[in-house]
Amino acid sequence: MIEDALGDRSLVVVSNREPYVHEYADGEPAVQRPAGGLVTALDGVVAETGGTWVAWGSGDADFDPAVAPEGEVRMPPEARANSADDRPGYTLARLDLPRRLVENYYYGYSNQVLWPICHLEADPVTVDAKFWPAYREANRRFAERAVAADPDVVWFQDYHLGLAPRFVREQRPDARLVQFWHVPWPTPEFFEICPQATELLRGLLGNDAVGFHLERYADNFRDCVARFVPDAEVTDAGIRYDGRLVETYASPIGVDTERVADNARSDAAAHYWERVVDRYDLDPERPVVLGVDRLDYTKGVVERLDALAHLLETTPELAGEFTYVQKGTRTREGIPAYRRYYDAVRDRIAELDRVHGTEDWTPALYIEDDVDDRELAGLYRNADVAVVSSRRDGMNLVAKEFVAAQGRPFPNAGLAQTEGLDNPARDRAPGALVLSRFVGAAESLCPAALPVNPYDVSAFAETIRDALEMGEPERHDRMASLQASVRGEDIDAWLATQLDVLAGRERVVAADDD
Ligand code: ADP
Ligand code: F6P
């Protein structure tokens, strides 16, 4: 399906984050997969469609002569290494952006202006006069590289690239341009904090179609256009602008459910979990509560740790009855708010352990291992409760991965349970999911996932307790319903919509029409 969708039209994907990064390890370049929903979702797709993927080369070994002297490298790595992998693969074209530009464009405008605004966080918004010119310049460079690949179709990703579509449109009026916005879009009342609201919207209106995870984000976008772009006309059929019709659509991103389920049953998953159990001397009888996050203030990790502290203060009989495991990944460390957030998370974990820990019980662990997706699935599958408590999140794939990793109700689960290591996780009851109401995934996963308001600490604590105490039949019932939702909106469903939109097929409807 994927290979044929675009016929012989050439595809260029453009994103800020690259799908694979080369970093030096013991003096040698080694390839790694960055944490983040966008690259996880897209890599498999572009491996099938082929084409060019333009992204910022952020790794310290990205331009090593042994890796990619001109900044271009064939991906995914297994497609190069394994001739049996007959997927076409793609060319990763890395942009070598100067440090100053990255500071002001990525650490500046993208992540200190747009990211907090889209996530309805006014406090971290920092406006610096150097940010906007750098954002323009970076977008110009991304656009130039995309045009150089002579594309018929360009697929832009996310909020780092708000101006690039307009730049490409000026040079390639004939190309089809589509953008997927992976984070929420705020209401006009919030978006007006953005000093460049109108220019940014004009940049995005260079596209033929702009996609969002949810209808309400698409509605907000259309409301913002109506308010801030006087020469655009918002109609039921789309947005009339500059002699063209720009469509908006909603399409919730999902995960590759079979792959995650297979990962969770793999020997690598079991081995990794065994290593964690050994390293931290975990009692196999003690339930595990799990958090997996990029350490971003939008993820509500601090609120979660406060809820756990509250739980132990108000319900002392729970002492020793569970272990909280935080799998963290540092992120955007060039921004002071992120460095402070990392410290706040570590401090709160240390405080939990200091106040509530005993000689034989450490209430909370922090793990920062670089894990691959099978090892991560090992954590998911061995957790009795997962807590996703974002203050705001466009979708949140961690929640969906956790569900897919629980495995049992998937059709081939019985078969795989007879294979491989003797892994008790394969037979255990599914985990329970505690999920913030403020993530896109809550729309389809709640109330089968236990909904929480992460700001309401005592109710949040009670919900974690409910999840810990949930009986096996209820776990199975809820998980069956969660898995049906996650399968119904999986990565293939998302991809099918994106391919229709990229190909300009009829199925795109204005978000208001449904
Ligand atoms: P975001 O896109 O904001 O990072 P998502 O939850 O949508 O959030 O996607 C995060 C992706 O990155 C998931 O695929 C998840 O597996 C991975 N990820 C997130 N946090 C970690 C972590 N601490 N360690 C390893 N992988 C992580
Ligand atoms: O999904 C939202 C997103 O911002 C992606 O665009 C991005 O790749 C991911 O989160 C991780 O953030 P970053 O690329 O800044 O590390």
What band does 417 get if pLDDT is binned at 50, 70 and 90?
very low
Q: 371 phi and psi, to 5 degrees?
A: -110, 150
36 lines ligand 2 (CB under 6 A): yes
| Whether the bond into 409 is cis, omega within 30 of 0 | no
**pLDDT top residue among 513 and 372:** 372
pLDDT of residue 81: 55
**pLDDT top residue among 247 and 416:** 247
Q: Residue whose CA is closest, atom 20 of ligand 1? A: 293
CA 166 to chain CA mean position, Å = 25
Token readout for 58 is 């952020």
pLDDT of residue 416: 36
The answer for residues whose C-beta is within 8 angstroms of residue 208's C-beta and 6 or more apart is 176, 177, 178, 244, 245, 246, 247, 504
User: Taking residues 263-278, what's their average pLDDT?
Assistant: 96
Query: Which element (helix H / strand E) includes 217?
Result: helix 215-228
**Of 5-19, 60-74, 330-344, where does the model show the most confidence?**
330-344
Q: For 428-473, write each residue's pLDDT tens digit.
A: 899 999 999 999 999 999 999 999 999 999 999 999 999 999 999 9
Average pLDDT along the chain: 92
Q: For 142-162, write each residue's pLDDT tens digit.
A: 999 999 999 999 999 999 999
Which of 132, 141, 209 lies closest to 176, judged by CA? 209
How much of the chain exceeds pLDDT 70, in percent?
Answer: 91
Q: Report the alpha-carbon distance of residue 269 to residue 422 in Å, rounded.
A: 12
Distance (Å) from CA 359 to ligand 2 centroid: 40
How much of the chain exceeds pLDDT 90, in percent?
Answer: 83
| Helices of type H across 75-176 | 77-81, 99-104, 115-118, 131-148, 164-171
Q: Helix, strand, or coil here: 222?
A: helix
pLDDT of 503 above 70: yes
Q: Report the alpha-carbon distance of residue 152 to residue 7 in Å, rounded.
A: 11
**Of 78-87, 324-333, 402-411, 504-513, where does the model show the most confidence?**
324-333
Q: Residue whose CA is closest, atom 14 of ligand 2? A: 17
Q: Report the alpha-carbon distance of residue 207 to residue 507 in Å, rounded.
A: 17
Q: Report the alpha-carbon distance of residue 411 to residue 483 in Å, rounded.
A: 11
| Helices of type H across 267-371 | 267-280, 301-314, 336-356
Distance (Å) from CA 449 to ligand 2 centroid: 25
pLDDT of residue 238: 96
pLDDT of residue 82: 53
Q: Report the alpha-carbon distance of residue 468 to residue 471 in Å, rounded.
A: 9
Q: Which long-range contacts link 169-174 to residues 24+ away (Cβ below 8 Å)? A: 169/206, 169/207, 170/206, 171/143, 171/147, 172/147
Distance (Å) from CA 38 to ligand 2 centroid: 6
pLDDT of residue 315: 96
User: Taking residues 62-88, what's their average pLDDT?
Assistant: 78
CA of 102, nearest ligand number: 2
